[in-house]
Amino acid sequence: MPYSTLDIRQVGSTLLVELNRPEKLNALNHTLLNELEHLVTEILHTRDFRAMIITGKGKAFAAGADIAELAECTKETGADFARRGQRVFAMIESLPIPVVAAVGGYALGGGCELAMACHIRFASPNAVFGQPEIKLGIIPGYGGTQRLSRLIGVARAVEYMLTGDSISAQRAYELGLVNRIIESERLLDETLTFCATLEKLPPRAIEAILRTTYGVLSAHYEDEAVQFGILCGTDDFREGTSAFLEKRTPIFSGR
């Protein structure tokens, strides 16, 4: 399958996947999610790789869902919109090989959720994380309510989701959201070096670690999708997405 939103190459036994919509800050649109799903399915079938790196071209890892597509959601379609992203990210999290996010720049909204679906996160000093969905009148819908709570603790996760505040790379490291901070010019090379060290380790033991660590999680993803859909039917969602696209401050009514 030819990919239009992903740039893919093999480095040793590592598959390097670059999100390739730099003009849109690698926003996660339907095409990109479809291509990610197809790619992960191919990996599961071939098992040719020992690790995978996900990163983004340009100044962002991924700045979130494509707001123009998101704004089309209704109460009836919003839950399915969330389930779509949840399914793809769950497939990434369930891969039997380590998946490392190399985050240089913005990882916001769906981009942060994608990074959290990876098993390990390395970031450059200028990386920025966050779940700002509340500013659009909705909640994280691609598993963020569950994964952020798991990674940094419930109280801190709730605080960041309620405020929509950004998290600097240093603060993300302090919270446990990020494994390592690496200078921008060395981020990709050092991530590739880390993945190369995994080639010397027993693949079945690696797979067992991933399966036992992630396979027993009982996240409330369906509750998240249902609430996401309900909020897509509110006036506040319409106001939040319209204001974003019109580059103005939203005025929320509570309806």
Instruction: Say how far residue 199 (Cα) sits from the centre of its chain.
Output: 25
Catalytic residue among 18, 35, 133, 224: 133
Give dist(CA 114, CA 99) in Å, integer.
11
Q: Which candidate, 23, 125, 107, places its Cα nearest to that of 60?
A: 107
Look at the alpha carbons of 162, 132, 65, 246 in this order and tell me if their dihedral is positive or negative. Answer: positive
- 222 catalytic residue (yes or no): no
For residue 28, the 8-state DSSP code is: B
Q: Is 133 a catalytic residue?
A: yes
Q: Read off the DSSP letter of residue 99.
A: E
Strand, helix or coil at 199? coil
DSSP string, 30-74: HHHHHHHHHHHHHHHHH---SEEEEEESTTEEE--B-HHHHTT--
Catalytic residue among 113, 174, 183, 199: 113
With contact defined as beta carbons under 8 Å apart, do 151 and 118 qualify?
Answer: no
Q: Are strands 106-108 and 60-62 parallel, antiparallel or unpaired?
A: parallel
Sign of CA dihedral 173, 143, 43, 111: negative
Q: What number of helices (H) and strands (E) belong to the chain?
A: 11, 10
Active site residues: 113, 133
